[in-house]
Structure 1
Amino acid sequence: MNTGSRTGAWLFALLMLISVPSLQARTPPDQLIIGMNMNNLLTLDPAAMTGNEVVGIVVNLYDSMIELDPNRLTEVRPALASSWQVNEARDRLTFQLRKDVKFHSGNPLTAQDVVWSMRRILHLNLAQASVWKSYGFSKKNVDEMVTAPDDYTVVIQLPKANDPNLVLYSLAALGSGSVLDSATVKSHEQNGDWGNRWLTTHEAGSGPFTLDTWQAKDVLRMNRNADYWRGDIKLSRVVYRHFQESQTLRLMMEKGDLDVASNMAMADLRALRHDPDVTIDAVKKGTIYYVAMSMKESHFANAKVREAVRYLIDYQGINRALMAGYGELHQRPIQSGPATLPDPGYRLNVEKAKRLLAEAGYPQGFDTTLRVLADQPFLNIAIAVQSTLMQAGIRAKIITGTGNQIYGAMRERRFDMLVGRGGSGVEPHPHSSLRALVYNPDNSDAARLTNFQGWRTGFYDAGLNKAIDSALLERDAAKQQQDYHAIQRRYDQLIPALIPVSQMVDSVVVSNRVRDFQPHPSATTFLRDVYKTADAPSGETP
């Protein structure tokens, strides 16, 4: 063969290789392949979990007594409980359980498992305990407050006055209401840890899927539960794969190597909007992006310094340039809704910030640190905030890391500044946001209210706590809304240690082959009814 012929053959082979990806790959028809960033996926224990990512996994491994309808969040649906009642005094909830549910182990699910699961949350006192402690539950009273009169009845007595609807929302939406196989977990206890070490990487649920394997920051696989009480599950397997780069997620979606992808950058989302084989679902969530300061740090204990920081954030620029597809401008601690006041309209004002710093005794500024996840949009927000802080002399060194490194330091109250995301917001009630971002009934280190950002930052005001408690119990809807408006004004006047910047938008890219995948505003996205259609001709939706 002469040189020209060899060159022609080589070019033909190269063109064939290049053209192969254009024949879009297809994921297995009975498997759902999900691409996501797993940096903040730290544990599978329902009592210890933090972050939206793990909630979406846990609710498919476990069942709860009740659920929230993804289309109407104020509507509570039956799950393990076929019915429930609230007494006239509004301080007791009674649940009747189904009698045909088995755990993955084959053990029957009974009311004793529900009670034990609730006891476990309070006794472990990890992340998910904070919500229930705010309702008055403790490891000292939970045995008395949560009981099982018989094998299929659960009674929850509220330790203090509360809105029972909020308690129902919490049971349905947080994931901490997951019911554990008490016999299986007890068999894996080590040194009185209630099975926490084992459950970090294992599960003991009754949900539609069973855990196959989890390799941190790599892959998590779940298999169909063939004996699920709701009936046949259409998917044989769900696979979560870790991708840190948005562009990689986009390329994998374009090639057909993924069925679902989340947490993608706007540039990649824009590129996929023209892809006829995918749909982009934008779901507004109650979670808030924020800049936080620790009031245990001497600079930020000064209200004038905190106010200066308030004027050293370019809210409009950040949301315009960095948050498309991630969030929308929002400067209130309550997620958007009828109870939320309009934004106060804060803007970048370097000169005002400089005057405040001078009045606080820092005319030349000071050095500090700014912690942030090494992911987007967090890192870009931090870089933007670092730049505007510098204009007034606050020299913030950025410290990046994983969720455990960054939020772990915040939970230990050992940080200066932090760019984060939180606020619960999973329950359709203003108290959900206030509890997570503002409420701090006990500011002592010993309280360990680690799931409350108010406690993490050391921000405490007895009057504000009292107002939050009072608004929760107000039965007149118009008066309650006025109370929540007053709380927001008071919060603003106190110069808080946590500054809301944006409300989360979760943009999920879904292949058009996937059916009945409905992203849930509370992150409890159920996969039990999801299935996939046969391949469709390019450009057509099946």
Structure 2
Amino acid sequence: MSFLPSCVFSRCVSALLMLLWMTTAHANTPSDQLIIAFKMNNILSLDPAASTGNDIAFVNANLYDMLIELDPEDPTVILPAIASDWEIADDDMSIRFTLRDDINFHSGNPLTAEDVVWSLERVMELNMALATTWKALGYSQENMSQLVSMPSSHEVVIGFPRKLDPKLVLYTLATSPSAFILDKKLVLSHEQENDLGNQWLTTNAAGSGAFILQQWIPQDRIVMTRNEEYWGEVPELSRVAMRNLKESQTMRLMIERGDLDVAIGMSVPDIRALENAEDVDLQTTQRGTLYYVAVSMQNEILADQNVRRAIRGTINYEGVNDSIMSYYGEFHQRPVKLGLPATLPEPMYSLSNEQARSLLAKAGYENGFTTTIRALNESPFINVAINLQSSLQRIGIDAEIITGTGNQIYGAMRDRRFDILVGRGGGGMAPHPDSNLTPLLFNPDNDDAARLTNFQGWRTGYQNERINELILQAVAESDSDVQNRLYGEIQSLYEEDVGALFPFSQMVNTVAVRDEVEGYRDDPAAMTRLRSITKR
């Protein structure tokens, strides 16, 4: 008699169990567990210093804590977390935080001011994607250790490198994935070749959050268990299982049957199919991230302002939002997100085909030209790219669509090797104009060697020194009326200069939630915390 190797046998049994689970009728998921499905394509690392994107922010918000949080019901309200209290200095140049003294990490190590200071310094020392968040505020690897200090074991002072609106610093601490607090002792025990634990944190966690990481299988699942020693209200859920489901229809069928509690990122047809479902609610939350068409100033043709003006005016903004962006985004053409006092009215860009062709002729391209459009091979990006391709063809621009994964599409943008791209970005987590303007427009050094890859301005090669000056002036202004006027001037100047990013929609996130799930509140900053959820 022959036997299968144990590893092969285990995989066969797992596959059989999964097949049975997917193809038979089921009761609802266990009352003390939450089963969530979404696409995990962009989750490449769990390290808070290296991980960008809404998906990983959602995961880490449940494994880690921050100094402060924003109220998901009103993001302008700041709530205590690790810090029980904070005070802005009289000169508006620093903030003193008083930490709770009853918090332990999952390892059992006490959380102290040393962990807070080290976590922030680590972001700058590693100098990975999330360091850009702090660089934009004027912090550097050299000055971070001087500006962030610990007067006592449970006090932290964060000084400012230059005059800054204190609200901007507070919002950054409450919304940026770079501000999660790590267990210094545990992380450094896994350090390899001075990487500050980066390799280990790619697949592990070292937080104090309401849930503990039990398992992560890349592109498959993330499993968390309840932190029984959580310093706040201990969750009622004993387990959270997050599954990678790429097929929207599968997601819809599973949540209809009760095999899932929460489904995130379904396509519009499947969302619409759930509109009248008796046991499923749809939550739609406005987020600050913007969908845009980007053009590269590295491309000699696209660097011509007349060409950019022709393309900007040819985009079918209303048609795209009406036919494609339902449940994905809301019509918006400004680089400052909707709903803020500083946001100017929509410019309503529109050109006739004749006007656009005239602009191309003025630039020397009366016979048009050929180019490429890059877009993720998923909704709504590919759909917008197809619509844009058709619009450009009508004015004589022949554009080939190149699709791929996030690394392939945004990787080309980070390397400044693209022509036209349909993308989404801008941060937009904080209820502050700068949360979009700096990521989208700011470009202090346009040299290829600068590698300011988290700045969309650098990625597109667009640099306007006056806009840079106004952004720095605005973030230093504490008078809201003066600040709003500065932000208005930035938007007007960007419109006149025909910048390299053309926003067409502001992101909304639509989540399907089973009726028996109570307390799920999708967070505008993508920091959806699951600690208060219960199930009937």
TM-score by length of 1: 0.92
Deviation at 1:30, TM superposition (A): 1.0
Alignment counterpart, residue 305 of structure 1, candidates 304, 307, 312:
307
Secondary structure at the counterpart of residue 99 of structure 1: coil
Deviation at 1:387, TM superposition (A): 1.7
Deviation at 1:100, TM superposition (A): 1.3
The alignment status of 1:238 with 2:240, answered yes or no, reads yes
Between the aligned residues of both structures, percent identity stands at 52
C-alpha separation in 1, matches of 2:351 and 2:194? 51
Moved more, 38-47 or 69-78: 38-47
Deviation at 1:287, TM superposition (A): 0.9
Match of 1:450 in 2: 453
The alignment status of 1:193 with 2:211, answered yes or no, reads no
The alignment status of 1:373 with 2:415, answered yes or no, reads no
Check conservation: 1:102, 1:229, Cα contact below 8 A. yes
Check conservation: 1:371, 1:415, Cα contact below 8 A. yes
Match of 1:467 in 2: 470
C-alpha separation in 1, matches of 2:247 and 2:313? 32
Structure 2 gaps, min length 5: 1-21
Alignment counterpart, residue 259 of structure 1, candidates 253, 258, 261:
261
For residues 309-362 of structure 1, give each alpha carbon's deviation from its aligned partner in whole angstroms, at most 9, with x where no partner exists: 112211111000001111111100000122111111113532222222222222
Moved more, 72-81 or 411-420: 411-420
Secondary structure at the counterpart of residue 234 of structure 2: coil
C-alpha separation in 2, matches of 1:283 and 1:352? 37
- Aligned pairs (5 A) from 1:340-379: 340-347=343-350, 349-379=352-382
The alignment status of 1:205 with 2:204, answered yes or no, reads no
Secondary structure at the counterpart of residue 42 of structure 1: coil
Check conservation: 1:63, 1:178, Cα contact below 8 A. yes
Alignment counterpart, residue 323 of structure 1, candidates 319, 325, 341:
325
C-alpha separation in 2, matches of 1:220 and 1:22? 24
- Aligned pairs (5 A) from 1:3-22: none
For the aligned residue pairs, the C-alpha RMSD in angstroms reads 1.6
Match of 2:116 in 1: 114
The alignment status of 1:287 with 2:289, answered yes or no, reads yes
Structure 1 gaps, min length 5: 1-19, 534-542
Alignment counterpart, residue 35 of structure 2, candidates 33, 36, 40:
33
Moved more, 87-96 or 369-378: 369-378
Amino acid at match of 1:278: V
Secondary structure at the counterpart of residue 96 of structure 2: strand
The alignment status of 1:483 with 2:486, answered yes or no, reads yes
- Aligned pairs (5 A) from 1:41-440: 41-337=43-339, 338-347=341-350, 349-440=352-443
For residues 363-388 of structure 1, give each alpha carbon's deviation from its aligned partner in whole angstroms, at most 9, with x where no partner exists: 22222222211221111111111221
Moved more, 273-282 or 38-47: 38-47
C-alpha separation in 1, matches of 2:325 and 2:247? 16
Moved more, 491-500 or 237-246: 237-246
- Aligned pairs (5 A) from 1:493-508: 493-508=496-511
Amino acid at match of 1:394: I
Check conservation: 2:26, 2:258, Cα contact below 8 A. yes
**Stretches of 4+ moved more than 6 A in 1?**
20-23
Moved more, 115-124 or 20-29: 20-29
C-alpha separation in 2, matches of 1:526 and 1:253? 20
Secondary structure at the counterpart of residue 353 of structure 1: helix
Q: Number of aligned pairs?
A: 514
C-alpha separation in 1, matches of 2:153 and 2:239? 32
Moved more, 366-375 or 159-168: 366-375
Amino acid at match of 1:396: A
Deviation at 1:21, TM superposition (A): 8.5
The alignment status of 1:518 with 2:521, answered yes or no, reads yes
C-alpha separation in 2, matches of 1:251 and 1:215? 24
C-alpha separation in 2, matches of 1:316 and 1:197? 45
Amino acid at match of 1:303: Q
Deviation at 1:24, TM superposition (A): 5.4
Secondary structure at the counterpart of residue 307 of structure 2: helix
Deviation at 1:265, TM superposition (A): 2.1
Moved more, 217-226 or 131-140: 217-226
Secondary structure at the counterpart of residue 243 of structure 2: strand
C-alpha separation in 2, matches of 1:491 and 1:369? 24
Deviation at 1:126, TM superposition (A): 1.4
